[in-house]
Amino acid sequence: MNILLPFRDADVMQRIAAEIRQFDIDRPLRFMEVCGGHTAVIYRFGLTDFLLSTIRLVSGPGCPVCVTANDFIDRAIALCELPDVTIATFGDLVRVPGSTRSLAEVRARGGDVRVFYSSADALTWAREHQERTVVFLGIGFETTACTLAATMAECVQSGVKNFRFLSALKTMPAALQALFSAPDVHIDGLILPGHVTTVTGLSAFRFIPREFGIPCVVSGFEPIDVMESVLMLCRQIKDHHADVENQYRRVVRDGGNPQARAVIDEMFEPCDMPWRGFGIIPESGLKLSPQFAFWDSENVTVEVEPPQEHRGCRCGDVLCGRIYPSECSLFGTACTPETPRGACMVSSEGACAALYHFAPVNYDR
C-alpha cells in the first residue's frame, strides 16, 4: 500500500482547486515557498495549472545548497589542497560552482572529496582512517543543524581528533527578516517549510505577520498539502487577516522539537553568515561554540581565492524572488544540470533545476 496516495488524490486536488477559484480577489497575488522540497513538488505535479491566473508562486531562499555562498566552496577547496585532508560532504554540494572551480573538478584532479549520506557516516569513516583529517562541510537549515550538532557532540565526547567541521549552517527566520525588509521584494503570502518548523515551532515565524502583515502557512510536502496551503493563504487574504497557520499538523507541533533545539544550542552559537543573493545576514548562521574551537575548520589558516560570481548568473535574484528562473539569460542554454553555472541548477531542490526537469516546455509559472 502506498501511504502517499491519499495526499495525491486527483479528485481532492480538483475540489481544492475549485474552492481556490471561487475567491473573488481583484489583484494579482504572489505566494512564496521557502523550501526546496515545495519547489520540486510545485513543478513536478504542475500545481500552478490548478490555480487562479492571478496567483503566482515564486521560489525563495529554501534550498540549502543554493544559498551556500561561493566563498564557502572556495574555502573547502583550499582545505582540500592541504596534505592528508579529506573533504566529506553531501552529494549536491560537490557540483556547485565556486568562484573558479567546483569540488567535483578538484576531485577529478586527485583531491580527496568523498560523499556521505550523513555526518554520522563521515564520523565513522574518520575513526577508521586516523591517517586522514576529515573536514565535514555542514550546510542546511535547522532540520539539518540538529543532526550535525548530534554528530559533533559524539565526536567531542568520544575524543575523535581527526574530524573537523566547516559550517555554512543557516537559520531560516533571519533570512526571511532580511528578505521582507528589502524594498523591492513584494510577497502576499508565505508557504513556510514544514521540516524546519518541526524543529523551530510556529513561534519562530510569528514576527512575519506581526511586522510585515504577510499571511503564513506551514505546509507539508505532498501536492494536496501545498494546494491546501494556498487555499489557507487565500482565506487569510480574503478575511484581511495575517497569521501563522499550520497545515502540516500531522508532523508539526506548535512548540516544535525542544530536544533538537537543545542539542543545537549546546554545540553551536549564532554568527553572521553570507547567503547567496543576500550578502551577509547578521546572526543568521550557526558555528561551533568557542569551547569546541579545536574541531572548527574556520580556524585553519589557508589561502582562499577572492570570491566572485559567474557572469550572467542570476541565481541570487531567483532566491530573493525577484525573477523566475526562465528570466535568467543563461537558463537552459549555457546553464543546464549537466553544465551548471549557478547553484540553483545543481540541487534537485533548486528552482532552476526543478523547472528545467519538470517543465521543459512551459517555463512560465
Distances (CA, A) of 219 to 153, 166, 235, 248: 31, 31, 15, 5
Query: Do the domain assignments include residue 365?
Result: no
Query: Do the domain assignments include residue 159?
Result: yes
CATH code (residue 160): 3.40.50.11740
Can you tell me which residue has the cell 505546509? 219
Query: Do the domain assignments include residue 272?
Result: yes
Within 10 Å of residue 292's Cβ, how many Cβ atoms?
A: 18
Within 10 Å of residue 124's Cβ, how many Cβ atoms?
A: 15
Decide: 92 and 121 in contact? Cβ < 8 Å: no
Q: Which of 355, 349, 330 is nearest to 340 (CA)?
A: 330
- pTM of the complete model: 0.92
Q: What's the per-residue H, E or C state across 180-208?
A: HHCCCCCCCEEEEEHHHHHHHCHHHHCHH
Query: Do the domain assignments include residue 91?
Result: yes
Query: Do the domain assignments include residue 236?
Result: no
Alpha helices by DSSP H, the chain: 10-21, 36-44, 64-67, 70-80, 103-108, 119-128, 142-157, 172-181, 194-200, 207, 223-238, 258-267, 315-319, 351-358
Q: How many domains does the chain have?
A: 1
Within 10 Å of residue 186's Cβ, how many Cβ atoms?
A: 13
Distances (CA, A) of 221 to 9, 41, 98, 350, 360: 14, 7, 30, 15, 22
Return d(Cα 75, Cα 164) in angstroms, integer: 14
Query: Do the domain assignments include residue 264?
Result: yes
Query: Do the domain assignments include residue 267?
Result: yes
Amino acid at 83: P
Q: Which of 325, 320, 321, 324 is nearest to 346 (CA)?
A: 325
Residues found in the chain: 365
pLDDT in tens, the chain (365 residues): 566 667 788 888 889 989 998 887 778 899 999 999 999 999 888 888 888 788 999 999 999 999 999 999 999 999 999 999 999 999 889 999 999 999 999 999 999 999 999 999 999 999 999 999 999 999 999 999 999 999 999 999 999 999 999 999 999 999 999 999 988 889 999 999 999 999 999 999 999 999 999 999 999 999 999 999 999 999 999 999 999 999 999 999 999 999 999 999 999 999 999 999 999 999 999 999 999 999 999 999 999 999 888 889 999 999 999 999 999 999 999 999 999 999 999 988 899 999 998 875 544 54
Decide: 17 and 334 in contact? Cβ < 8 Å: no
Query: Do the domain assignments include residue 218?
Result: no
What is the span of the domain harbouring residue 268?
Answer: 65-171+257-296
